[in-house]
């Protein structure tokens, strides 16, 4: 970050915290939480901070103006002590869904990588080795694009569905927020969850990601002691049974030769499935396709189910869910990579929530920036770009997004 750009961003962040720190609310039991802040200066992380009340937190934010602000999902007896003396009491259950964990086709349009050895640039996911100098190390620039965020939204919807249907959590217990960058956070603050240890959280993470699923426990079996035709779960079944069936249904409805071969099915099996697609679709009206295709056996169905499960599972960052000491971005604070806010919204609004409207912190003002390169993007109702080597006057929120992303400089 050049000094100009950094001090410009910091001055805007300062204005925000001076005028809007009252929007920041205390997490439950604020006195038991650890806070952490990433400072502009030298990108230092200040951890192990504690606040007795929300006013002292707000005044700290106004005085310090951090690039990022975090609090612990955990509750401690003494949050300001070093880790081993904090006295862990419990932690909220957290799920992090980040587009970085979801492969989207648009990544090759907007994500840029630069070789750390020779500076060679490319788009999409970086290669294993730099084609020019052979180094295996790259810096990456991602982009909070609408397609990626839409993919993250789909994952969040699947997660919320699993949490409410299977785990029996109510809409009011499940709290969803936009992270301010490329994803969503889902938290459950109930006393019930607080005491769960890391092993229990791992089981929950495995449940939502479909990890370790064995279809034989969900109804997939050979009837009559192994000699008869196969039987399996049905579309309307609850829990993972139904998800398996729906995942398989979706996959077989659209799968072409290539995608069937890709999952490791033998050529003969692929032929049989393609020839009988009609019958497969109709079979769901009765017992499902499990026993109707000659030559498609248990092993083949397991491969197909694996694919179906992948589609039905929610792609969360498992490390966040299993870490009982995790620091989480504080709601209604600015994300240093975008200048957007982390904002919560009612769970039932997830289908219609618009991050590029609701998370905009700076609603007034303009700035003139020089943009090296930026994809097309939207803030509110307005669409900007794409830009390449040009000087433009933009609404402040749009300018800050590019500045924070390192795609633009403040024009003199």
| Residue 226 binds to other proteins (criterion: CB under 8 A) | no
192 binds other proteins (CB under 8 A): yes
Q: What CA–CA distance (Å, rounded) separates 151 from 156? A: 9
93 binds other proteins (CB under 8 A): no
Question: Quick one: how far is CA 140 from the chain centroid?
Answer: 17
- Residue from 43, 135, 267, 268 touching other proteins (CB under 8 A): that is 135
- β-strand partners of 382: 379
Check binding of 56 to other proteins (CB under 8 A).
Answer: no
Q: Does 210 bind other proteins (CB under 8 A)?
A: yes
**CB count in 10 Å sphere of residue 139:** 13
d(CA 330, CA 319): 19
* Interface pattern 318-337 for other proteins (x via CB under 8 A): xx--x---------------
Structure tokens at 247: 């995942």
Buried b (16+ CB within 10 A) or exposed e, 270-298: bebbeebeeebeebbeeebbbbbbeebee
Nearest CB to other proteins, comparing residues 179 and 322 = 322
Does residue 2 touch other proteins according to CB under 8 A?
no
For residues 111-130, which are near other proteins according to CB under 8 A? 116, 128
Q: Which is nearer to other proteins, 96 or 331 (CB)?
A: 96
Among 40, 94, 240, 356, binds other proteins (CB under 8 A): 240
DSSP assigned state of 407: S
Residue with tokens 């290669």: 127
Q: Which one of residues 122, 219, 375, 380 is an interface residue with other proteins (CB under 8 A)? A: 219
H/E stretch holding 222 reads strand 221-222
214 binds other proteins (CB under 8 A): yes
| Site for other proteins, residues 152 to 171, rule: CB under 8 A | 165-169
* Nearest CB to other proteins, comparing residues 279 and 319: 319
Scanning 237-245, 281-289, 349-357, 362-370 for contacts with other proteins by CB under 8 A, the matching segment is 237-245
352 is a contact residue toward other proteins (CB under 8 A): no
Is 309 in contact with 210 (CB distance < 8 Å)? yes
3-state secondary structure of 38: strand
Contact stretch for other proteins (CB under 8 A) within 30-38, 67-75, 196-204, 274-282: 196-204
Q: How far apart are CA 294 and CA 278, in angstroms?
A: 15
Nearest CB to other proteins, comparing residues 16 and 240: 240
Tokens of 180: 């301010």
Q: How far apart are CA 311 and CA 243, in angstroms?
A: 9
For residue 29, the tally of other CB atoms under 10 A from its CB is 14
**Residue list 263-322, contact with other proteins (CB under 8 A):** 318-319, 322
Residue recorded with tokens 């009765």:
286
Name every residue whose Cβ is closer than 8 Å to that of residue 290 and which is 6 or more positions away in sequence.
220, 229, 230, 231, 232, 301
Q: Which is nearer to other proteins, 206 or 354 (CB)?
A: 206
Minimum distance, C-beta of residue 268 to other proteins, in the bound complex (Å): 24
Q: How far is the CB of 328 from other proteins (least distance, A)?
A: 15
Q: Of the candidates 56, 171, 238, 259, which one interacts with other proteins according to CB under 8 A? A: 238
Q: How far is the CB of 139 from other proteins (least distance, A)?
A: 8
- SS (HEC) of 107-138: HHHHCEEEECCCCCEEECCCCCCCCCCCCCCE
DSSP secondary structure letters along 165-185: HTS---TTTEEEEE-SSSEEE
Residue from 33, 153, 234, 241 in contact with other proteins (CB under 8 A): 241
Q: Which residue in the set 83, 132, 279, 383 belongs to the binding site for other proteins (CB under 8 A)?
A: 83
Q: Per CB under 8 A, does 72 bind other proteins?
A: no
Give min distance, CB of 22 to other proteins, in A: 35
Q: Does 347 bind other proteins (CB under 8 A)?
A: no
82 binds other proteins (CB under 8 A): yes
| Separation between Cα atoms, residue 64 and residue 41, nearest integer Å | 10
Is the Cβ of residue 309 or residue 379 nearer to other proteins in the bound state? 309
Q: Which residues here bind other proteins, judged by CB under 8 A?
A: 82-84, 116, 128, 135-138, 165-169, 192-193, 195-196, 199-200, 202-207, 209-214, 217-219, 237-241, 318-319, 322
């Amino acid at each position: 970050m050049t000094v100009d750009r950094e001090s410009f961003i910091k001055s805007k962040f300062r204005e925000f915290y001076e005028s809007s720190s009252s929007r920041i609310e205390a997490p439950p039991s604020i006195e038991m939480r650890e806070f952490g802040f990433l400072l502009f200066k030298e990108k230092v992380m200040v951890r192990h901070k504690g606040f007795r009340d929300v006013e002292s937190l707000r005044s700290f934010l106004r005085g310090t103006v951090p690039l990022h602000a975090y609090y612990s999902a955990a509750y401690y007896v003494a949050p300001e002590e070093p880790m081993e003396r904090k006295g862990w009491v419990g932690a909220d259950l957290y799920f992090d869904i980040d587009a970085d964990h979801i492969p989207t086709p648009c990544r090759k349009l907007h994500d840029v990588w630069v070789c750390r050895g020779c500076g060679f640039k490319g788009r999409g996911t970086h290669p294993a080795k730099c084609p020019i100098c052979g180094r295996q190390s790259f810096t990456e620039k991602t982009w909070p694009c609408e397609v990626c965020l839409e993919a993250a939204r789909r994952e969040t919807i699947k997660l919320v569905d699993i949490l409410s249907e299977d785990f029996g959590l109510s809409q009011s217990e499940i709290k969803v927020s936009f992270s301010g960058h490329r994803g969503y956070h889902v938290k459950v603050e109930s006393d019930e969850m607080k005491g769960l240890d890391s092993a229990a959280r791992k089981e929950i993470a495995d449940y939502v990601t479909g990890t370790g699923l064995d279809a034989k426990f969900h109804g997939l079996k050979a009837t009559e002691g192994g000699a008869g035709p196969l039987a399996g779960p049905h579309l309307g079944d609850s829990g993972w049974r139904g998800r398996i069936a729906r995942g398989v249904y979706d996959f077989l409805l659209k799968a072409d030769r290539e995608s069937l071969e890709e999952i490791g099915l033998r050529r003969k099996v692929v032929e049989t499935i393609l020839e009988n697609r009609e019958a497969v679709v109709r079979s769901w009206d009765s017992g499902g396709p499990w026993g109707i295709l000659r030559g498609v056996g248990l092993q083949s169905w397991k491969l197909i189910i694996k694919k179906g499960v992948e589609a039905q599972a929610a792609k969360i960052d498992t490390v966040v869910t299993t870490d009982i000491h995790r620091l989480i971005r504080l709601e209604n604070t600015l994300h240093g990579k975008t200048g957007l806010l982390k904002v919560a919204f009612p769970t039932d609004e997830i289908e219609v929530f618009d991050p590029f409207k609701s998370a905009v912190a700076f609603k007034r003002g303009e700035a003139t920036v020089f943009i090296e390169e930026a994809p097309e993007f939207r803030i509110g109702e307005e669409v900007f770009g794409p830009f390449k080597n040009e000087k433009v006057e933009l609404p402040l929120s749009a300018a800050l997004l590019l500045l924070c992303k390192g795609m633009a400089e403040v024009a003199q």
